[in-house]
Amino acid sequence: MFTLSQILGRALKEGWALPHFNISNLEQLRGVCEAARKLRAPLMIGVSEGERVFIGLGQAIALVDVYREEYDLPLYLNADHTLSVQGAKEAIDAGYNSIHIDLSKKNFAENLAGTSEVIRYARTLRDIDLLSIEGELGYLVTESSRVYKKKIFVDPSTLTKPEEAVRFVRESSIDRFAPAVGNLHGIALNRPKIDFKLVAKLRASLPDSVAMVLHGGSGNSPAVFRKLIDLGFNNIHISTELRLAYRRALEGSLRHSRSEIAPYKIMQPAIEEVRKTAEKYIKIFGANNRI
C-alpha cells in the first residue's frame, strides 16, 4: 500500500483531492468503503475524539483493517480533531495511520509547542514515513458538524496568516496543514465565503511535500471544490452531509417499515444513502479510478 504522503503527493501533482469521510458506526464505514471500492478510490476515514469513544479506539482500527484487506483498497484511518497532546499520543500508540492534532483554539505558541511534541513523540515510536501528522492553524468559527439554522459569517481575524503558516509548518515539521480560509464545520443557511487569494498565498508559501487540508467541506458547491483543488488543496473533509444522508434514510426506513425489528434490514437504506453521498464527493474531488 502506498503511504499517505505518497497518495497526497500524487493528488497534488495530478490535480485531485483525497476524500476524508468521517464515520460514527459500522453502517457509515460500510457505505463509504463500498463507494471507494466501486469507484476505485483511495480514502481517508476519520474518527473524531467523540467518534473514537463511541466506536472504540482499537475497534476502529480493526474494522478499517478488515475492509482494507477484503476490498483491496488504500484506506487510511485518521484520528481526527484530537484536542490534546495526550489524546494524540494514545492514537499513535494504538496504531492509527494518521493523527490530526487540533490545538487551533490555543494561541500560536501553545499550538506550535503541542503539535511539535506530538511529532517528536511519533518519531520515537513509529516509522515516521508510515505515519502522517496534521496540524491546524487559524480557527473555524463553528465547532461541530451539524446543520445551523442561521447564517454564519467569518471574522477575517480568525483566518490563517501566511507568515504564521510558514513558521508553523517549518518548526513543527507536520505532513499536513489545515488552515482557516473561510471554511465552516457543518452547514449554515449561507454558503461559506472562501478567501481564494489567501488559499493561493498559503499554497505558494508552503512546500509541495506538505498537504493542504480543507475541513468543513460540506455545504460547498462543486465549482468551489474544483477551484480549491486547482489552487492546491489535496485533502478534503466531508462529515455533515454523510450524517444527513444517514439520518434521513434511517428515518425514512423507520417510517416505511414500522413492523420491522431486524436492525440489518432497517439500516440498509442508510448504508445506501451514505454510499451514494460518498460516491458523489469522490467524483467531485476527482479521486475515482486512482488505484
The tens digit of pLDDT for each residue in 233-280 reads 999 999 999 999 999 999 999 998 888 899 899 999 999 999 999 999
Q: How confident is the model at residue 129 (pLDDT cuts 50, 70, 90)?
A: low
At the topology level, CATH places domain 4-284 in: TIM Barrel (3.20.20)
- pTM for the model stands at 0.94
Cα distances from 100 to residues 132, 137, 174, 224, in angstroms, run 9, 12, 10, 24
How many H helices and E strands in the chain? Answer: 12, 8
Question: What is the C-alpha separation between 211 and 227, in angstroms, rounded?
Answer: 16
Q: How far apart are CA 218 and CA 223, in angstroms?
A: 13
- Contacts of residue 27, Cβ cutoff 8 Å, sequence gap at least 6: 246, 267, 270, 271, 274
> What is the percent of the chain with per-residue pLDDT over 70, rounded to a whole number?
92
Residue 142 has pLDDT above 90, yes or no: no
pLDDT of 185: 72
Count of beta carbons in the 10 Å neighbourhood of residue 196: 15
pLDDT tens for residues 160-217?
Answer: 999 999 999 999 999 999 999 987 776 655 567 899 999 999 999 999 999 999 998 8
Specify the 3-state DSSP secondary structure of 108. Answer: helix
